[in-house]
Structure 1
């Protein structure tokens, strides 16, 4: 009994990542994998946003074809497509197991519908910006987060399509934010900007080099 009483919880408040997690999500040798994922997810967002902005597809297999609902923005009927989308979502609130929950339907009806034109622009340019950022590999983790946020809202509105797949892949991009944009602009942007908890990595590197230089001078 005494041996059990002598056991105390460890004082550590952090648990180290397992080696396999570090390898997949923080090792630049796996950056090629996240490049493929990033380009695919970015392509899907870019083509979706472009179609909403212009009314024409740039997707492989349907390049140049006109979309059914026309452009969402920069037209004489801004917000019409958004209203149609909301109407489709509200139609899925009926039945014993509705695809769209009542609380989200209330949000769509009371907040989104009265500002349909505004939300049409937000969604269109949100998709474009997420797609461009992912393809360029710029602030990949942040872009993936907003991508997941849009995927979640589409799913809550009853629009399944590729949203589960894109959301699932984007979650992994968020986990791999340190290397997901390594073959892209993040290779330079993260070094320059750093993170809120580290500051600029380049500045930090110069400070460390300066400290080491002072230590070397002091030991001579």
Structure 2
């Protein structure tokens, strides 16, 4: 107990090693690059597709949403609240959301591969995985979601073999004060 009557519970050695020790960075490098290439491959396929970002932008997303709405109508894998969101927000703006998904996947992939803002890239990758899962699409989404969640937890060391090694000390963290001078 310290002066403020706050009890500090020490971190266990396994989580300290995995999430705070740069010796675990090789493990995270392998996971990070695997997840990054999965996102880059998926995103590149969309960016170069006419149905996602070309003349017919939004067409592929409209088809995807149509399938999700059909699953919801059948009482299947898509919750009513998410179907309502897809129908009233995403579907009318399918072109914009198509660009966001396509380029977002590429950016997440590049961020993870190069280890730049790894925790943020992994967070947005996990967010997209959850969005696809809510829409009733399994594929690799559960695995990528789990790995992305681990990368978010390991943000301090997951980019050690990457650009975060230099970027994070320069950017700092919101909860640390920078010295003036």
Q: Does 1:175 align with 2:153?
A: yes
| CA shift for structure 1 position 161 | 0.5
1:164 maps to which of 139, 142, 158 = 142
Give the alignment's TM-score, normalised by structure 1: 0.77
Partner of 1:38: 32
| CA shift for structure 1 position 12 | 2.3
The structure whose Rg is larger is 1
SS of the counterpart of 1:92?
helix
Question: Which is helix-richer, 1 or 2?
Answer: 2
5+ long unaligned stretches in structure 2: none
| CA shift for structure 1 position 198 | 1.4
Cα distance in 2 for residues equivalent to 1:127 and 1:191: 26
Q: Does 1:85 align with 2:85?
A: no
Q: Does 1:115 align with 2:109?
A: no
Partner of 2:12: 18
| CA shift for structure 1 position 16 | 2.2
Contact 1:35 1:183 in 2 (8 A): yes
Which runs of structure 2 are paired with 1:57-72 in the superposition (5 Å)?
71-72=51-52
Deviations 1:124-171 (A, max 9, x none): 111010000000000000111111100000000011100000000011
5+ long unaligned stretches in structure 1: 1-9, 56-69, 208-220
| CA shift for structure 1 position 14 | 3.5
2:110 maps to which of 129, 132, 154 = 132
Give the alignment's TM-score, normalised by structure 2: 0.93
Q: Does 1:193 align with 2:171?
A: yes
